[in-house]
């Protein structure tokens, strides 16, 4: 074969999903199922990848804008799988080699299976090779009909006889085709079936009639060719994907206290001896170091966590970096571009946004620190706020090494607190505090003697 060309069928409406979102954009393990199919397709290093789209095709195109080199063809109206594949003909005109046909709603297919399919297809010089599997409940799938061990035809569920419906070997909808005779043969398919559609499976009979070689490759684990047509099937596939990822982590030395309630995305990395408690969600490009402890009900997205980090319950980290030995939470919120230094402490109900908290620094209680650079060993008192927004622009607060910020202080940016300086509790700091100085900015206290007694004395009435 000179080239490999992948065609992905993604035009279906997915009516049983009952969704305004195209079926192939629904997430599996945190990733749209069409993205998973494209990733496994890319493992073949194909010359071209083409998607056949239809229902809400603009949404599918928009979701895949970040991927370069994709070809698109519209199937409208949608008249069956053979008709769908025909729409790829203009995209493949003048090409040679093999076409690998995938379904956009089969997200668990492994790259090893695709490579085995292609190797067998090429070595057997087949015109068509079909991926099959044996399942306990074949309802809804096309059945593989064999004679003397050879595939003679594929019959769809609605057209199958009672005897054929007892067959447990099913058609996965995944194929390899020799490109040269493909589109001429597709034009010979009729729509004389229960659905009134042009079935791609009829191509097998046509090729057999032309004495062309038709082969099969059978997968051992039928889960990987499982399609998704409903919300319940989506949930079940998500469960399988989550379980697979969790088993990989545990085999690598990660402790999952309750794998059934732990969600870890496909790209997440976790170091050995880290303990993950129930209800934890790890998503995106998150990387967790070794010997960490992540307490229940923590969500971490696109963040990097060092070694020996403790993240207490009910924390949210998005786009943050936490250095080794730090402690976060409970109930802390680390927003994008936040950096927490080594052995630093972010405590209860503290929010950081685009802020660097230096090594050994502490913000233990009830504070908002936004657009701030905070040096090593700084102590941030409870209730401190960096007032970073003037209604039009964001401004930066700088707190240098060893400074002490008293409780219930507001630092109104742009402002700098120098090295080793102190800010008195209850201050509203609008000017820089020099190194080693004490900044006080609060109203003078006045005590009114006897006020409480007079307040309680009746002023009149009967």
Beta-carbon contacts of 392 under 8 Å, excluding residues fewer than 6 positions away, are: none
Closest among 358, 314, 356, 309 to 335, alpha carbons compared = 356
Whole-angstrom distance, CA of residue 383 vs CA of residue 221? 56
Whole-angstrom distance, CA of residue 75 vs CA of residue 398? 58
* Pair of tokens at residue 70: 């994709």
DSSP 351: E
CB 245 within 8 A of CB 270: no
Closest among 250, 248, 252, 251 to 266, alpha carbons compared = 248
Question: Is 131 strand, coil or helix?
Answer: strand
Whole-angstrom distance, CA of residue 322 vs CA of residue 340? 5
CB 291 within 8 A of CB 309: no
Instruction: Name the active-site residue from 5, 66, 333, 365.
Output: 365
Whole-angstrom distance, CA of residue 106 vs CA of residue 225? 6
Whole-angstrom distance, CA of residue 390 vs CA of residue 370? 13
Query: What is the spatial order of strands in the sheet that 281-283 belongs to?
Result: 263-264, 281-283, 299-301, 316-318, 333-334, 351-353, 368-370, 385-387, 410-412, 428-429
CA 152, 155, 160, 164 torsion: positive or negative?
positive
Is residue 297 part of the annotated active site? The answer reads no
CB 159 within 8 A of CB 194: yes
- Judge if the upstream peptide bond of residue 330 is cis by omega within 30 degrees of 0: yes
Question: Is 345 strand, coil or helix?
Answer: strand
- Judge if the upstream peptide bond of residue 162 is cis by omega within 30 degrees of 0: no
Whole-angstrom distance, CA of residue 425 vs CA of residue 362? 16
Strand-pairing partners, residue 300, are 282, 317
- For 81, phi then psi, to 5°, come to -70, -35
Beta-carbon contacts of 462 under 8 Å, excluding residues fewer than 6 positions away, are: none
Strand-pairing partners, residue 99, are 5, 177
Whole-angstrom distance, CA of residue 237 vs CA of residue 243? 10
What residues are labeled active site?
Answer: 365
């Amino acid at each position: 074969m000179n080239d490999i060309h992948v065609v992905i069928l993604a035009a279906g409406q997915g009516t049983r999903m009952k969704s305004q979102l195209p079926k192939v954009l629904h997430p599996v393990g945190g990733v749209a199922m069409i993205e998973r199919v494209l990733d496994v397709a890319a493992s073949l290093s194909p010359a071209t990848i083409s998607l056949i789209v239809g229902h809400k095709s603009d949404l599918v195109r928009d979701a895949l804008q970040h991927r370069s080199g994709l070809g698109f063809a519209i199937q409208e109206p949608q008249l069956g799988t053979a008709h769908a594949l025909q729409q790829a003909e203009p995209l493949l005109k003048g090409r040679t080699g093999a076409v690998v046909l995938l379904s956009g709603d089969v997200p668990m297919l492994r790259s090893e299976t695709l490579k085995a399919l292609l190797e067998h297809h090429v070595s057997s010089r087949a015109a068509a090779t079909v991926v099959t599997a044996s399942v306990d409940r074949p309802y809804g799938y096309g059945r593989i009909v064999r004679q003397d061990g050879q595939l003679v035809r594929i019959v769809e569920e609605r057209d199958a006889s009672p005897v054929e419906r007892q067959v447990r070997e099913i058609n996965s909808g995944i194929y390899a085709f020799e490109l040269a005779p493909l589109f001429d043969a597709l034009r010979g398919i009729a729509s004389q079936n229960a659905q009134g559609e042009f079935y791609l499976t009829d191509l097998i009979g046509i090729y057999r009639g032309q004495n062309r070689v038709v082969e099969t490759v059978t997968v051992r684990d039928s889960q990987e060719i499982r399609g998704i047509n409903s919300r319940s099937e989506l949930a079940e596939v998500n469960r399988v994907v989550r379980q697979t990822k969790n088993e990989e982590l545990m085999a690598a030395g990660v402790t999952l206290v309750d794998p059934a309630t732990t969600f870890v995305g496909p790209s997440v990395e976790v170091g050995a001896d880290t303990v993950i408690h129930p209800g934890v969600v790890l998503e995106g490009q998150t990387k967790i170091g070794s010997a960490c402890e992540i307490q229940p009900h923590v969500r971490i997205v696109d963040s990097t966590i060092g070694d020996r980090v403790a993240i207490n319950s009910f924390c949210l980290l998005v786009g943050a970096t936490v250095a080794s030995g730090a402690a976060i939470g409970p109930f802390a919120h680390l927003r994008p571009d936040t950096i927490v230094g080594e052995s630093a402490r972010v405590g209860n109900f503290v929010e950081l946004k685009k802020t660097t908290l230096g090594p050994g620094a502490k913000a233990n209680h009830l504070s908002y620190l936004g657009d701030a650079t905070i040096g090593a060993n700084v102590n941030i008192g409870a209730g401190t706020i960096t007032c970073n927004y003037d209604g039009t622009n964001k401004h930066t607060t700088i707190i240098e090494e060893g400074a002490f910020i008293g409780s219930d202080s507001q630092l109104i940016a742009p402002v700098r607190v120098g090295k080793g300086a102190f800010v008195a509790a209850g201050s509203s700091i609008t000017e820089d505090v020099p190194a080693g100085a004490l900044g006080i900015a609060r109203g003078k206290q006045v005590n009114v003697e006897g006020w409480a007694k007079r307040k309680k004395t009746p002023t009149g009435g009967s």
